[in-house]
Amino acid sequence: MAGNPVKRNLSYEFLKGLWDESPIFRQLLGMCPTLAVTTTAINALSMGLATSFVLVCSATIVSFIRKLIPNQVRIASYIVVIATFVTIADLFLKGNFPDISKALGPFVPLIVVNCLILGRAEVFASRHDPFPAFVDALGMGFGFSIALTVLGTVREILGSGTIFGFLNFEPWVIMILPGGAFITLGLLIGLMNMIKERTK
């Protein structure tokens, strides 16, 4: 950790993904799956878990091989590592949870180009030891899954009115349409900014 200017403890590396550097609400990374698959809470959670799996595995591997990769081809090497894990995750989902795999559609393979994963590999894993990289990826994956699930829950409650049996109102169809995704996320980020402003 000699080259690391600010030495932080592991619990910070884990927790920063949840609020301070929340990938979705703060850094706006990995937007495509965020908007596309959050029509229901369960889809959102599955997507979050699949992405976290790829994120954690690839960050750990990248950290292990970081000294072997020449600097010029590092991005390409990271992408190959990521694509390999995405293939594993995709085959696992297809084999064990065909319904979820069908609902997520092309967004499982698109985890390859999720900028969150490449971003963590480039910014963190390639400069730290495997264990901190693992913890950082775990925190980021956790934050990503939570943010996705929150978005999915809001959209499911308002858009289909199905999450609790006793909800009884006319669902707003717009919330499960593409427009609703953008608007919900915009309002949630605005809300987070407002909370941050108040607690400062």
Binding mask 139-178 for other proteins (x = CB under 8 A): -----------------------------------x--xx
- Please choose, out of 15-23, 76-84, 131-139, 160-168, the segment that lies near other proteins by the rule CB under 8 A: 76-84
Which two three-digit tokens encode residue 131? 């264990």
Among 113, 130, 150, 153, which residue sits at the site for other proteins (rule: CB under 8 A)? 113
Q: Is 80 in the site for other proteins (CB under 8 A)?
A: yes
Among 76, 165, 168, 170, which residue sits at the site for other proteins (rule: CB under 8 A)? 76
Among 15, 18, 36, 150, which residue sits at the site for other proteins (rule: CB under 8 A)? 36
Nearer to other proteins, 140 or 185 (CB): 185
Among 18, 28, 150, 163, which residue sits at the site for other proteins (rule: CB under 8 A)? 28
Which two three-digit tokens encode residue 130? 């495997």
